[in-house]
Amino acid sequence: MRDSSAERPSPRRRTRLVPMAGFSLLALLLAACGGDATRTPQNALNPAGRYAQEPHDLITIVLIIAAVVFVLVHFLIIYSVVKYRQRKDDDGSLPVQIHGNTRLEIFWTIIPALILAGIAVPTVQMIFSQMDEPDDAFVVEVIGHRWWFEYYYPEHDIYTANEMAIPVGRPVRLQMTASDPARDPAQGVIHSFWVPRLAGKQDLIPGQMTYLNMLADEPGRYYGQCAEYCGLSHANMRIRVEALDDAAFDAWLEAQQAPAEVPADELAARGRELFGDLGERQACAACHQVWEGDGGRTPGTGPDLTHLMSREEFAGAIHDMTPENLREWLRDPNSMKSMQYEVNGIGMPDLDLTDEELDALVAYLLTLE
């Protein structure tokens, strides 16, 4: 007869299990506290419109089914472990050895198959309802660049970057692609557009169009970010959606459609000059468009700056739009969005601007309202 006492967990070990189980439960409980949109602005469990609500509801159903299966299976495991544990008076002989039970095996194959089939029905239904183009959709084109999102409003010929305005209560149809090598040889990577409170996740692929519907029930600010690793500055590629009520949205469209005003101020006028001509150095205008009303709007390789000051953030929506930040960005872009340039050789270059040039350029940018 074997000595079974050596195989039992020691009392010390058992007392350690209690706090561990406690912590696990606490973690589960705390995970349920994420409903506050100001503290967790990118919470898919706090949907703000139909296209985020549907996946959320589906996850809830799947979670309930999974929880029932989890509890059942673990109950059976614990029950068996306790009931058939080794006892003091065991004679050490093996239990009766069995192999196979056709009826049971059919049973536990059919049950999961039925569960999966049951989940498949609402899943497939939801995929179709999510992908369908809504009749009254407002269309916005989204182009993923390294490392910022560009938005084009085809009905109104508006270009903007990082921050996207949408109308409240109206489905928005995003037509998405990634900047392809034809427009910029250093581009051509896949990004993923994800604003968790407004919609699911969708890839942006060079040379291909993908679609995503989103809808915001309430006015407000919704955050998101690129969700597909796209290079060293992937984490600096943020999204901000401003859902505006009808009047505010119409005002936004009107303001964005207006051409940029030529500044009267002397310093800003000097900045405008430098923007278009930096002598030997590449001019800002080579990459950035400031549309003053001549001809059509044509995007450059960098963000459109026509109404730069209408945005609250820049550089992939990671920096506040303050004169100090803009000046530092122009002076030494690498210090503001590190790592990306030396490695990939693109993006905002360091133009070796003098203090005087910096002052003039910042003064000019501040006029682009």
Residues making contact with ligand CUA (CB under 6 A): 144, 147, 191, 226, 228-230, 234, 237
Task: Give the nearer residue to ligand CUA in terms of CB position, either 237 or 290.
Answer: 237
Task: Give the nearer residue to ligand CUA in terms of CB position, either 225 or 256.
Answer: 225
DSSP state of 89: T
Task: Give the nearer residue to ligand CUA in terms of CB position, either 160 or 225.
Answer: 225
Give CA–CA dist 126/333, Å, rounded.
Answer: 44
Distance from the Cα of residue 27 to its chain's centroid = 24
* Structural tokens at position 234: 């992937």
Minimum CB–partner distance for residue 151 and ligand CUA (Å): 15
Contacts with 345 (C-beta within 8 Å, 6 or more apart), sequence order: 186
Provide the 3-class DSSP secondary structure of residue 340. Answer: helix
**Residue 193 bridge partners (DSSP):** 202, 226
Give CA–CA dist 177/142, Å, rounded.
Answer: 6
Evaluate whether 271 touches 363 at the Cβ level (below 8 Å): yes
**Residue 225 bridge partners (DSSP):** 194, 238
Minimum CB–partner distance for residue 229 and ligand CUA (Å): 6
Task: Give the nearer residue to ligand CUA in terms of CB position, either 147 or 291.
Answer: 147
Minimum CB–partner distance for residue 312 and ligand CUA (Å): 21
Minimum CB–partner distance for residue 311 and ligand CUA (Å): 19
DSSP state of 286: G
Task: Give the nearer residue to ligand CUA in terms of CB position, either 50 or 191.
Answer: 191
Minimum CB–partner distance for residue 347 and ligand CUA (Å): 13
